[in-house]
């Protein structure tokens, strides 16, 4: 029953975002230390895959690792951007930075230290995956991660990037 309720909440949140567009909630670029509006992190005319995660979330780290390993191959098949947004608290920013650097991330990584973006997107748990289409609208959301689940995400990216 909880899974059904969570699925309905995700669907309603995605439908609301599609109608309203992406929020301009401020997040912090962990590399530069500068704040940026979330909607400005998404390049117009290009599909964007976003992984919401936390340093304490093992499935989150596994998902991002699997996606980052497949990125070079995926980028040959579809033109899209990838970014991650940590929901860790502000005091964990250094840990987020250290982890991302240790993993060799060569894509943007942000932090939503006060959970303002998380609240505006109305999701509860990580890992939370979101795909934004070329028009800046939410086209896909998913909560949780199972090994191999990234194949479904990439299929959706290819469909949207055509």
Q: Say how far apart CA 78 and CA 81 lie, in whole Å.
A: 10
Judge whether residue 1 has pLDDT over 70.
no
Owner of token pair 């704040």: 35
Residue 8: pLDDT band by 50, 70, 90 thresholds? very low
Residue 150: pLDDT band by 50, 70, 90 thresholds? very high
Which DSSP letter does residue 43 get?
A: P
Which structural domain, as residue segments, surrounds residue 14?
2-161
Over residues 47-102, the pLDDT tens digits come to 999 999 999 999 999 999 999 999 999 999 999 999 999 999 999 999 999 999 99
Spatial CA neighbour of 34 closest among 43, 24, 25, 26? 26
Judge contact between 68 and 53, C-beta under 8 A.
no
Spatial CA neighbour of 22 closest among 39, 1, 45? 39
The 138-143 sheet, strands edge to edge? 35-37, 26-29, 109-111, 80-86, 47-53, 128-132, 138-143
Mean pLDDT of 31-49: 97
Helices (H), the chain: 2-20, 58-77, 93-102, 116-121, 150-161
Residue 7: pLDDT band by 50, 70, 90 thresholds? very low
Judge whether residue 116 has pLDDT over 70.
yes
CATH code for the domain of 28: 3.40.30.10
Judge whether residue 152 has pLDDT over 90.
yes
Judge whether residue 142 has pLDDT over 70.
yes
pLDDT for res 121 = 97
How many domains is the chain built from?
A: 1
């Amino acid at each position: 029953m909880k899974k059904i309720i969570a699925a309905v909440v995700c669907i309603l949140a995605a439908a609301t975002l599609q109608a309203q567009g992406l929020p301009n909630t401020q997040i912090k670029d962990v590399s530069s230390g500068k704040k940026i509006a979330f909607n400005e992190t998404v390049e117009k005319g290009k599909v964007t895959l976003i992984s919401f995660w936390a340093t304490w979330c093992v499935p989150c780290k596994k998902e991002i690792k699997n996606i980052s390993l497949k990125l070079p191959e995926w980028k040959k098949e579809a033109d899209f951007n990838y970014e991650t947004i940590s929901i860790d608290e502000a005091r964990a920013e250094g840990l987020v930075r250290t982890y991302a650097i240790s993993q060799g991330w060569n894509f943007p990584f942000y932090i939503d230290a006060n959970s303002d973006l998380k609240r505006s997107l109305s999701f509860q748990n990580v890992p939370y995956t979101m795909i934004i289409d070329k028009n800046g609208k939410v086209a896909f959301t998913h909560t949780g991660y199972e090994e191999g689940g990234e194949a479904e995400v990439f299929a959706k990216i290819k469909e949207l990037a055509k």
